[in-house]
Amino acid sequence: MTADEITEKTKSFLGKFIKVEEIQADEDLFAAGLLNSLFAMQLVLFVEKEFNCKVENDDLDLKNFNSINAIVGLITRKIATA
C-alpha cells in the first residue's frame, strides 16, 4: 500500500469526526480540544482493522495520532513490521 493510499483512507475516516478539508497534514488534530474517548478508541480500532495490525500500549501516544502525518507514519511503521 502506498503512502498516498494510507493518507486517503485516514482522511476519509477522520472526515466523519472533523472538518478534514480545513486541516493541514501536519496540523495538530487535537489542539482545538476535539478529543474524546470514543473518537480516540475509534481511531485506534480504525488503524487496527483497516490495516490489520495491533496497536500496542506503547504505540498509544499522542504524538502517533495528533496529525494526519503522524497517523500515516504510525500505520506505515506498523505495516512494515507486521
Partner 1 sequence: MIQKNKIKCVVWDLDNTLWQGTLLEGDTVTLSPNVVEIIQTLDQRGILQSIASKNEYHTAMAKLTEFNLQDYFLYPQINWNSKAHSIETIAKSINIGIDTLAFIDDQPFEREEVNFSLPEVYCIDATDLPNLLNLSELNPHFITEDSKYRRQMYLSDIKRNQLEEEFSGPKESFLASLQMIFTIAPAKENDLQRAEELTVRTNQLNTTGYTYSYEELKSFINSDNYLLLITSLEDKYGTYGKIGLTLIERQPTVWTIKLLLMSCRVMSRGVGTILINHLRNEARHHQVKLCAELIQNDRNRMMYMTYKFAHFQEISNDGHLILFENDLSAIQQFPEFVKVNILP
Give the residues lining the site for partner 1 (CB under 8 A): 15-20, 30-41, 44, 57, 60-62, 65
Place of cell 485506534: 44
CA–CA dist 10, 17 (Å, integer)? 12
- Give me the least distance between CB of 41 and partner 1, in Å please: 5
Specify the residue, 26 or 61, whose C-beta has the smaller distance to partner 1.
Answer: 61
The DSSP symbol for 61 reads -
CB of 74 to partner 1, least distance (A): 13
Residue 62 C-beta: closest distance to partner 1, Å = 5
- Report how far residue 45's alpha carbon sits from residue 78's, in angstroms, rounded to the nearest whole number: 14
